[in-house]
Structure 1
Amino acid sequence: MGTKHTRADDAPDDPNDLLPERSVLSLEEYLEMQAAVGNRTRFEILYRLSHTDELTPTELDSMIDVDDSTLHYHLGKLREVGLVEKRARSERDSDGLYTYYRATILGEVILEHGVEELLRREWDFGDAYDSSAD
C-alpha cells in the first residue's frame, strides 16, 4: 500500500484555488485538455503537430495509422478544447491542399510539461522505478 507524501508547498484545500483569480481558463477547461491528450491517437496527433510547423490531414494520415474519419474526429476534439488550430487557405497550394493544422501554445505546453515530461523523467529516474535494483 502506498503512502501519502506531503508536499513542501502549501497546497490549497480546493483545487479551484490553484488558478489565479483572473485565470484565462477554468479548472474544468484545463481538465478537458488533459483528458483530450490522454487518448493515444490525440496524443500522437498533438505530438506530431507540436514538433512541426503545421501539417495537412493528408500528411498526418501518412504518419498515423487511422482512417480518415477517425483522424478528423480526433482533430475536432483537439480543436474543441483549444490544443490544435485549423488554418484554411483560400487558394490551393502546389499540392492542391487547403487545410492545415498546428498545435496551439496551450497544446505545446500541455504536451511538453505533461506526458513528455513524465516520459523524460522516466529516463532520468529509471533506477527509482526499478524495484529489483537493491
Structure 2
Amino acid sequence: MGTKRTRIADDVPDDPNEFLPEMSVLSLDEYLDMQAAIGNRTRFEIVYRLSHTGEMTATELDAVMDVDDSTLHYHLNELRDVGLIEKRVRTERDGDGLYAYYRATVLGDGILEDGVEELLRRERAFLDTYDSSRN
C-alpha cells in the first residue's frame, strides 16, 4: 500500500487556484470544465479533427464520424460552451448551401496538443525506449 503524501513540492503552490495568473481571464473551474469536456471520446475526436484539418461544417464532421446528427450537435454545443471550439457563420451560403463552420480555438488546440496528444507522445517514446523486441 502506498503512503499518503502530505507535503507539496516547494515549487508547487499549496492551493491549485494559485496556479492561475493574477489577472487570469478564466477561473480554475473553467479550465477544469475544458478538461472534462475533452475527456469525452466524441468531443475529443471533434476537437482533434478541427485542430488538425481546420474548419469543418457539421455535415463534414457527420460524414467522418460515427455519431448521429443530434448527438453531434449536442457535443458541438458543449465544446462551444467551454471555449474549445468556435462557430463561424457566413452571411451567405456557399455552393453547397452551407454557411456554418466550426474550428478549434487556441485553447482547443492547446488542451489537445499539451494534454492528450502529449501523453500519447510520451507513451510512444517510453515504449520505443523500452521495447525489448528491438534488441
TM-score for the superposition, normalised by structure 1? 0.89
Equivalent residue letter for 1:56: T
Give, in angstroms, the shift of residue 94 of structure 1: 1.1
Pair 114,2 (structure 1): closer, same or farther in 2 beyond 3 Å: farther
Unpaired stretches in structure 2, ≥5 consecutive residues: none
2:58/2:102 contact within 8 Å kept = yes
The C-alpha deviation readout for 1:65-124, integer Å capped at 9, x for no partner, is 000000000000000000000011111101110110000000000100000100111100
Residue of structure 1 in register with 2:39 after alignment: 38
TM-score for the superposition, normalised by structure 2? 0.88
Give, in angstroms, the shift of residue 2 of structure 1: 4.7
Q: How many residues get paired?
A: 130
Instruction: Give matches, 1:70-81, under 5 Å.
Output: 70-81=71-82
Residue of structure 2 in register with 1:22 after alignment: 23
Residue of structure 1 in register with 2:62 after alignment: 61
Residue of structure 1 in register with 2:48 after alignment: 47
| Secondary structure at the counterpart of residue 33 of structure 2 | helix
Residue of structure 2 in register with 1:83 after alignment: 84
Structure richer in helix, relative to its length? 2
Give, in angstroms, the shift of residue 127 of structure 1: 6.4
Q: Distance in 2 between matches of 1:60 and 1:129?
A: 37
| Secondary structure at the counterpart of residue 125 of structure 1 | helix
